[in-house]
Amino acid sequence: MTIKAYSIEGNGTFAQDVPAFAAAIKGAGADIVLVPGVSRAKRSMPAAAMRAGAAIDTNVVAVQAEGEKLTVQRWAYRQRILTTFTRAARPWVILVDPSLFGDICAQLGVTPEAMPSGAAVETRTTVNGVVAAGKGGESTIKPDSPLLFVAGAGWTKKQADGQSHAADAESIILQFLDKSQASLGSTKSLVDMSGEGNAVLSFMTHLNQVGQTGSTPRHPKGLSTCCHGEEPHVVGWRFIKERRAVNIDANCGWARGKADVLYVADAFAVMAKVNELLCK
């Protein structure tokens, strides 16, 4: 069984990537093709696999080789069921979770190569340029970012002076996201705040929700602010490798073994200082 791994970096269009990826799958001559499941690969690789006559699976979190047999694992039902399966079809393209791609390649003894760019493709679409994620608007969900920043309901609650400061919270959070290029997450309590008569963050939607009833991201690092760290909050964090939190309550859930580092401090002051350091 021959295994080939390709790393995918930079930007590309669907029309350009599909034929290039298909040619790479055919040219590899491999039974198994491993690719990190970044946004670019998820957009174009399924069509490329179909063009190359290959089977494909995405969001794989583990790959195990035993002789000529290869089994993979991926989560189902909102990350509540871990499935294990194999396929007889070859070639088999496997999109591995980006944060685990390097570890899986090392485990299988495969060295990733850069994905060939391929020849220019004639298309009726004219590409004037590519805008990086987060630069063309208020894009706050960035699956490929190395950092997940989660905001809790404390950002819109009354502060020490008895007043809420939603405008200041928006400014601090947006400045941090812009400087760090972090992905934004939220607790359910924050995205549901609009029904409680409290101030809300204008850029926050249910798409940002992380946790038991939200998404389960896999960023290498995570920073939680104004979030109590109770079980429903941290369920979505179980794949984050390094966890840090900021909360004024020293007895919150983060302090009970759920965070690697807990800063007992005011998130407004901490993040304002972080932004100041990032601007230098």
Angle (CA) 248-239-250 rounded to 5° is: 15
Q: Specify the residue for token string 């190395």.
A: 146
Q: Specify the residue for token string 């939680």.
A: 224
Instruction: Give pTM, 2 decimals.
Output: 0.66
Confidence of residue 132 (pLDDT cuts 50, 70, 90): low
Per-residue pLDDT tens over the stretch 94-126:
999 988 999 999 999 999 999 887 656 666 767
Q: How far is CA 36 from the centre of its chain?
A: 12
Per-residue pLDDT tens over the stretch 134-162:
444 557 888 889 999 999 989 998 888 98
Per-residue pLDDT tens over the stretch 205-230:
888 999 888 888 889 999 999 998 88
Residue 190: helix, strand or coil by DSSP?
Answer: helix
**First vs last C-alpha separation in the chain:** 51
Domain ranges, ordered by start, for the chain? 3-114, 147-278
Q: What is the pLDDT of residue 231?
A: 85
Q: Mean pLDDT score of the chain, rounded to an integer?
A: 88
Task: Spell out where 152-214 has E strands.
Answer: 183-186
Q: Is 181 exposed, middle or buried (0-12, 13-18, 19+ CB in 10 A)?
A: middle
User: Which candidate, 83, 133, 118, 84, places its Cα nearest to that of 6?
Assistant: 118
What is the Cα–Cα distance from 34 to 32, expressed in whole angstroms?
A: 6
164: CB partners within 8 A, 6+ apart: 156, 157, 158, 198, 199
The conformational region for residue 50 under phi > 0 = left, psi -120 to 50 = alpha, else beta, is alpha
What fold is seen in the domain 3-114? Rossmann fold (3.40.50)
Under CATH, which number does the domain 147-278 receive? 3.40.50.1220
Same topology for domains 3-114 and 147-278, yes or no?
A: yes
Per-residue pLDDT tens over the stretch 45-82:
999 999 999 999 999 999 999 988 999 999 888 777 99
